[in-house]
Homo-oligomer: A and B are copies of this chain.
Amino acid sequence: MPGSGKGVFVEVARNDYNLPVYTMGDVVREEALKRYGSAEPEHVLRTSIKLREEQGQDVIARRVYEEMDKGSNVVVVDGVRSLHEVEFFKSKGEVVVVAIHAPPRVRFERLLARNRPDDPKSWSEFKRRDEIELSLGVGSVIALADYVLINDSSVERAREEARRTLAAILSGASRA
C-alpha cells in the first residue's frame, strides 16, 4: 500500500544483497510515455488499468519477466499488485511474497511528509488512492504473503527487518 515503505526493502535488497530489482511501475510508466507522451500520475494510473483490460491481468508481470536477466538465481520484483501476477511468476520459478505493512494513519502521514506531486494531500484523496490499489487485488497478495514486515516506526528498524527477512529467504534459496 502507498506509504508502507516498500522502498526500504528494495534498497536493502539492492545495496546489501546485491540483488537485481525489477520494478512493475517502470513498465507502466514506460507504456504511459508511449501512449500519452507523459508519465503524470493520472496517465500512469489510466495506463495501468487499460493495459490490464486489453492484455490480461498479468500483462505487467509478463513484461517484467521478459526483461529479466535469466542468469540471476534470485531477483526482486517490486510492486506486485494481484494474485494473477503472483501466479504468473510462480509458473516461472519459486516465489516468496514479502508484504510491507504500516497502519493507514502512519502511511498517510508519511505521504504528506514525502509530498511528491502524485502523493495525496488529503485524507479523502488518500482513501481513494487506497481503494484503487485494493481494487487491483493487492489485499489478497498481502493476506497470502510469506512474510509480512511491520514498518510502523523508524527507517532503521525497517532496514533491520528487511535484512533479517532477506537473510532467511536467501538461506532457504541456497538450500533449494
| Residue in B105, B137, B142, B146 whose CB lies within 8 Å of A104 | B146
Beta-carbon contacts under 8 Å, A98-150 to B: 101, 103-105, 130, 133-134, 137-148, 150
Inter-subunit contact A148/B148 (CB<8 Å): yes
CB distance from A94 to the nearest CB of B (A): 13
- Tell me the A57-100 residues at the B interface (CB within 8 Å): 83
Residue of B nearest to A150 (CB): B148
A1 close to chain B: CB less than 8 A: yes
Instruction: Chain B residues near A143: list those with CB within 8 A.
Output: 1, 101, 130, 133-134, 138-139, 142-143
What residues of chain B lie closer than 8 Å to A137, measured between beta carbons?
Answer: 139
| A140 CB contacts on chain B under 8 angstroms | 134, 139
Q: Closest B-chain residue to A144, C-beta based?
A: B104
Q: Please name the residue on chain B nearest to A148 by beta carbon.
A: B101
Asked if A103 and B139 sit within 8 Å, CB to CB, the answer is: no
Distance (Å) between the CB of A35 and the closest chain B CB? 29
Which of chain B's residues have a CB closer than 8 A to the CB of A142?
A: 139, 142-143
Shortest Cβ gap from A54 to chain B (Å): 25
Query: Which of B1, B103, B144, B147 lies in contact with A147, CB distance below 8 A?
Result: B103
- Give 15 A-B contacts (CB < 8 Å), ordered by A residue: A1-B143, A83-B134, A101-B143, A103-B147, A130-B144, A133-B143, A134-B140, A137-B139, A138-B143, A139-B139, A139-B141, A139-B142, A139-B143, A148-B150, A150-B150
Q: Which 5 A-B pairs have the closest CB atoms?
A: A139-B139, A139-B140, A139-B143, A134-B140, A103-B146
